[in-house]
Chain A
Amino acid sequence: MASNEEILAGLAEIVNEETGLAPEAVELDKSFTDDLDIDSISMMTIVVNAEEKFGVRIPDEEVKNLKTVGDAVDFIASAQA
């Protein structure tokens, strides 16, 4: 079970790998689309990599609700619980 800090750090690593964004730019209040400029294809890659890293399932219909990095951290944390 990962802490929220660990989930954030893991997500930042995945985002960096996919987009080249600096991991420290990946903050809880940042919007994936508006702040981080992540398109839908990159978002799906990030989702699938997060599923593997954290051992959770993020249903496709849930992805549109993950607007900010914090939304994703909360979803992964609750899915792990």
Chain B
Amino acid sequence: MARKVVITGLGATTPIGGDVPTMWKNALKGVSGARTLEDDWVARYELPVTFACRASNKPDEVLTRVEAKRMDPSTQFAVVASREAWKDSGIEEIDHDRLAVAFATGIGGVWTLLDAWDTLRDKGPRRVLPMTVPMLMPNGPSAAVSMDLGARAGAHTPVSACASGTEAIALGVDLIRAGKADVVMTGGAEAAIHPMPIAAFSAMQALSKRNDDPEHASRPYDLDRDGFVMGEGAGALVLEAEEHALARGARIYAELAGSGVTADAYHITAPDPEGLGATRALKAAMFDARAQAVDVVHVNAHATSTPVGDKPEYTALKAALGNQVDNVSVSATKSQTGHLLGASGAVESVMTALAVYERKAPVTINLDNQDPEIPLDVVTSARDLPSGDIVALNNSFGFGGHNAVVVFRNA
């Protein structure tokens, strides 16, 4: 029998709240984190998209100046969220050789990389900061979190675009089950609201261009959806072997009951139109968790608000859940937070853990005309989840055909 893994700590810094209590209060209310960008580079480069979901707290105002100076913004977000999750777990004494990190990012230190390039061109190689390489590397967030916590059982960085955060959580479960760690700080961080990624995502027609109405731009499942809205921030979850958590009398949010990770092997950006890879990930995750379709009451969907992406997820849910798909409360919280790329799966897993713990599904905003081809039961005002034993899923999919699903069960 595999070791049971439970969630004992949560952290988040997001566009709808700089900590978990604020984010969750807003997620149940239904707010938009999208705003017009005030940065001078928006006009300088005549960007086709002029808004995004900025994190509500600047991490360099939470960290000390010297801490912030040595970290790319993505790492700053990771450290802020993981500190909150660690404190929330209540862990005081731990064998640091049994504490691991699995912290993801989609892109890595893009601000550091491009700032260094600007410095090289403008001022020459001598002025390129010596900390550039450790700040830009994608393992920067996991390395910084491991140093911050003294986590010595490995610091891992799964990178699978927008599935990264969820894949990090899946890896954390595996590490505990395999006996390689007793506690794993898992999560994802992203800080890519920079003119280059905005230009690049825009070039591939992935972003909403609703520049005159940012708050209504992220609208998953709506007929008028026209792309995703970039977000930034981090989510963090403390995963712990159940016996370790019980021995210290920890508060348990939920069981992290299983995971499924697959690849479409179909197209570098487009999802398999039949959702076959996502279906296999869902089925694998439910099998891993020993969960039946009938147990599933809530899904935090990937649902980015792109015209092509939202429907295959529905197809996959229907294939994996059968008729039960009609009885599942589906939340598309990117409508509020925007798409945090490599952090999105982690932030949404924080929300799914809270949904199971408090038995409340968060809100999907901006659903005015639901796409008739996606007849899901979408949660548009906070809804109670049933009592008794329940299961919830969090889906994340990434460019490259990556599919990651994690399964939550009430403790």
Q: B66, B127, B129: which has the most chain A beta carbons within 10 Å?
A: B66
Residue-wise interface mask of B (47-73) relative to A, using a CB-CB cutoff of 8 A (1 in contact, 0 not)? 000000000000000001110010000
Q: Give chain B nearest CB distance to A30 CB in angstroms.
A: 18
| Beta-carbon contact of B126 and A18 below 8 Å | no
Q: Is the interface of B mostly helix, strand, loop or mixed?
A: helix
| Beta-carbon contact of A20 and B65 below 8 Å | yes
| Cβ-based interface call for A6 (8 A) | no
Partner of B131, one of A19, A45, A51, A52: A45
| Cβ-based interface call for A1 (8 A) | no
Q: Is the interface of A mostly helix, strand, loop or mixed?
A: helix
A20 neighbours in B (Cβ, 8 Å): 64-66
| Beta-carbon contact of B69 and A44 below 8 Å | no
What is the chain A residue whose CB lies nearest that of B66? A20
B127 neighbours in A (Cβ, 8 Å): 48, 52
| Cβ-based interface call for B130 (8 A) | yes
Q: Give chain B nearest CB distance to A14 CB in angstroms.
A: 13
Considering the chains assembled together, what is the distance between the CA atoms of A12 and B64 in angstroms? 19
Residue-wise interface mask of B (104-141) relative to A, using a CB-CB cutoff of 8 A (1 in contact, 0 not)? 00000000000000000000001101110010000000
B126 neighbours in A (Cβ, 8 Å): 48, 51
Residue-wise interface mask of A (27-57) relative to B, using a CB-CB cutoff of 8 A (1 in contact, 0 not)? 0000000000000011011001001100000
| Beta-carbon contact of A45 and B65 below 8 Å | no
B64 neighbours in A (Cβ, 8 Å): 20
| Beta-carbon contact of A41 and B130 below 8 Å | yes
Considering the chains assembled together, what is the distance between the CA atoms of A17 and B66 in angstroms? 8
What is the chain B residue whose CB lies nearest that of A20? B66
Partner of B130, one of A44, A51, A52: A44
A51 neighbours in B (Cβ, 8 Å): 126
Q: Give chain A nearest CB distance to B125 CB in angstroms.
A: 10
A44 neighbours in B (Cβ, 8 Å): 130
| Beta-carbon contact of B69 and A18 below 8 Å | yes
| Beta-carbon contact of A41 and B131 below 8 Å | yes
| Beta-carbon contact of A45 and B66 below 8 Å | no
Q: Give chain B nearest CB distance to A9 CB in angstroms.
A: 20
| Beta-carbon contact of B130 and A19 below 8 Å | no
B65 neighbours in A (Cβ, 8 Å): 20
A48 neighbours in B (Cβ, 8 Å): 126-127, 130
Q: Give chain B nearest CB distance to A79 CB in angstroms.
A: 15
What is the chain B residue whose CB lies nearest that of A41? B130
Considering the chains assembled together, what is the distance between the CA atoms of A41 and B130 in angstroms? 6
Considering the chains assembled together, what is the distance between the CA atoms of A41 and B69 in angstroms? 13
Considering the chains assembled together, what is the distance between the CA atoms of A19 and B65 in angstroms? 9
Q: Give chain B nearest CB distance to A36 CB in angstroms.
A: 13
Considering the chains assembled together, what is the distance between the CA atoms of A19 and B131 in angstroms? 13
Q: Give chain B nearest CB distance to A38 CB in angstroms.
A: 12
Q: Give chain B nearest CB distance to A33 CB in angstroms.
A: 15
Q: Give chain A nearest CB distance to B220 CB in angstroms.
A: 44
Considering the chains assembled together, what is the distance between the CA atoms of A42 and B126 in angstroms? 14
Residue-wise interface mask of B (126-158) relative to A, using a CB-CB cutoff of 8 A (1 in contact, 0 not)? 110111001000000000000000000000000
Q: Give chain B nearest CB distance to A11 CB in angstroms.
A: 17
Given A18-B69, A44-B130, A48-B127; 12 other pairs, CB 8 A cutoff: A19-B66, A20-B64, A20-B65, A20-B66, A41-B130, A42-B130, A45-B129, A45-B131, A48-B126, A48-B130, A51-B126, A52-B127
Closest 9 CB pairs of A and B: A20-B66, A44-B130, A41-B130, A45-B130, A41-B131, A48-B126, A19-B66, A45-B129, A48-B127
19 contacts between A and B (CB under 8 A): A18-B66, A18-B69, A19-B66, A20-B64, A20-B65, A20-B66, A41-B130, A41-B131, A41-B134, A42-B130, A44-B130, A45-B129, A45-B130, A45-B131, A48-B126, A48-B127, A48-B130, A51-B126, A52-B127
